[in-house]
């Protein structure tokens, strides 16, 4: 990863406001992120943190209310029709729910051949069939002839999700935005899906934006990449995965990591838990002033945290944190 290269995806203070019964819901608030080609970035957070909305803005499916989304340096909403088409092919989204994202009236072949023929990637059905077979093999649906003529309802959840991935691959994307792509499948299937996605990442050099609520999954998928943690629409911490997992800085990240139940009775029963001041997540309709985590935060300092929104500050080791208190303490350490 060259530091000076133009990021393949760049979010520059991107926001998105939804109108709900004349009230404004700020789903994403001034999020900035630069992703280099071949990188893996996990967007992590609880429901309502804005990770899915951010993913959809990266894929160009929804318009930001403010800020710019850039693909290879260009604002996607200022592109020519032709450029925009190329961008849309290059950035593919895999949805969470493989039951909802595949057309139930089409066979696997129908679902996958449509983009191939539509975009002139293959000349005819004979070539399309060959290409679909290759792609099914890529996602471990073998032998492919067993799947070509099946309808989605004849497939298991894990197989459907593989078809979704294979469909995204039909247009040879440079970036895949995977929104909770492994959350809805069973444990025994999840690992093989994750391993398959890791292999694609390695073999095809695809850039991944991986959206998940599960930090353990993020750890395993993006160990060589980065994790960005979101809370109520804002990015509150971003850094290299081993740093975020082993040395989290933001009190929210620390609370999340300490709260996760682990599939090991000795680890999980002796884990130290960070206590929050409040269990309730504030509503997006009523986001607390200043740092939106302040009503729950164990480090809360009156007169500081509720007054201004903390910026993402560099605290060393490649981590940036949006916390007044942590940033101040780290700065002291540097001086000392």
Partner 1 sequence: MSENAKTAGEPALLVEDLWVEYPARRGVVKAVRGVSFELRRGETLALIGESGSGKTTLGLALVRLLPKAARIKQGRIMYYRNGTSQDVLALNAEQLRRFRWQECAMVFQGAQNALNPVLRIEAQFLDTARAHGMTDAKAVRERAIELLKMVQLDPQRVMHSFPHELSGGMRQRVLIALGLLLQPQVIILDEPTTALDILTQRSVIEVLRRLRTQLDFSLIFISHDLSLAAELADRVATVYAGAIVEIGSVYDIFERPRHPYTLALTRSVPTVTGEMHPLASIPGSPPDLINPPLGCAFHPRCPYATDQCRSQEPRLERVGDDQFAACWHWQEVKP
> Which residues make up the interface to partner 1 (CB under 8 A)?
46-47, 156-159, 186-192, 194-195, 213, 215-217, 219-220, 223, 245, 255-257, 259-269, 271, 273, 276, 279-281
- CB of residue 264 to partner 1, shortest distance in Å: 6
Q: Which is nearer to partner 1, 156 or 172 (CB)?
A: 156
- CB of residue 6 to partner 1, shortest distance in Å: 31
| C-alpha–C-alpha distance, residues 113 and 136, integer Å | 12
CA torsion sign, 73 to 77 to 83 to 85?
Answer: positive
Q: Which is nearer to partner 1, 220 or 240 (CB)?
A: 220
User: What's the chain's length in residues?
Assistant: 336
- CB of residue 191 to partner 1, shortest distance in Å: 4
Q: Which is nearer to partner 1, 204 or 274 (CB)?
A: 274
Question: What does residue 212 show for φ and ψ, rounded to 5 degrees?
Answer: -155, 155
Q: Which is nearer to partner 1, 5 or 267 (CB)?
A: 267
In angstroms and rounded to an integer, the radius of gyration of the C-alpha atoms of the chain is 21
| C-alpha–C-alpha distance, residues 256 and 61, integer Å | 29
Q: Which is nearer to partner 1, 181 or 215 (CB)?
A: 215
Q: Which is nearer to partner 1, 186 or 333 (CB)?
A: 186
- CB of residue 201 to partner 1, shortest distance in Å: 15
Write down the residue that tokens 């990240």 correspond to: 253
Q: In sequence order, what are the beta bridge partners of 44? A: 212, 229
- CB of residue 285 to partner 1, shortest distance in Å: 13
DSSP secondary structure of 193-235: HHHHHHHHHHHH--EEEEEES-HHHHHHH-TTSEEEEEETTEE
| C-alpha–C-alpha distance, residues 214 and 43, integer Å | 10
- CB of residue 165 to partner 1, shortest distance in Å: 15
């Amino acid at each position: 990863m060259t530091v000076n290269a133009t990021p393949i995806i760049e979010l520059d203070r991107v926001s998105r406001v939804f109108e709900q019964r004349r009230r404004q819901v700020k789903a994403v608030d001034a999020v900035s992120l630069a992703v280099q080609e071949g990188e893996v970035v996990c967007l992590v957070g609880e429901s309502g943190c804005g990770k899915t909305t951010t993913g959809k803005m990266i894929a160009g499916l929804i318009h930001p209310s403010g800020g710019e989304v850039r693909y290879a340096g260009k604002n996607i909403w200022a592109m020519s029709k032709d450029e925009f088409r190329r961008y849309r092919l290059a950035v593919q989204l895999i949805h969470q729910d493989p039951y909802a994202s595949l057309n139930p009236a089409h066979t696997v072949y129908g679902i996958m051949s449509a983009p191939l023929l539509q975009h002139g990637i293959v000349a005819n059905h004979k070539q399309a069939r060959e290409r679909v077979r290759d792609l099914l093999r890529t996602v471990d649906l073998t032998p492919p002839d067993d799947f070509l003529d099946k309808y989605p309802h004849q497939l298991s959840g894990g197989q459907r999700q593989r078809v979704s991935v294979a469909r995204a691959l039909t247009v040879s994307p440079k970036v895949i935005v995977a929104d909770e792509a492994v959350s809805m499948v069973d444990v025994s299937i999840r690992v093989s899906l994750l391993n398959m996605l890791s292999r694609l990442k390695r073999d095809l050099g695809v850039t991944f934006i991986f959206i998940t609520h599960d930090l353990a999954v993020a750890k395993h998928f993006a160990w060589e990449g980065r994790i960005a943690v979101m809370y109520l629409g804002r990015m509150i911490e971003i850094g290299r995965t081993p740093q975020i997992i082993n040395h989290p800085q933001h009190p929210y990240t620390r609370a999340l990591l300490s709260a996760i139940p682990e599939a090991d009775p000795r680890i999980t029963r002796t884990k130290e838990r960070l206590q929050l001041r409040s269990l309730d997540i504030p509503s997006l309709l009523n986001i607390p002033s200043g740092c939106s985590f302040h009503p729950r935060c164990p480090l809360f300092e009156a007169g500081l945290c509720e007054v201004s929104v903390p910026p993402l500050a560099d605290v060393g080791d490649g981590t940036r944190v949006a916390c007044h208190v942590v940033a101040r303490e780290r700065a002291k350490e540097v001086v000392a």
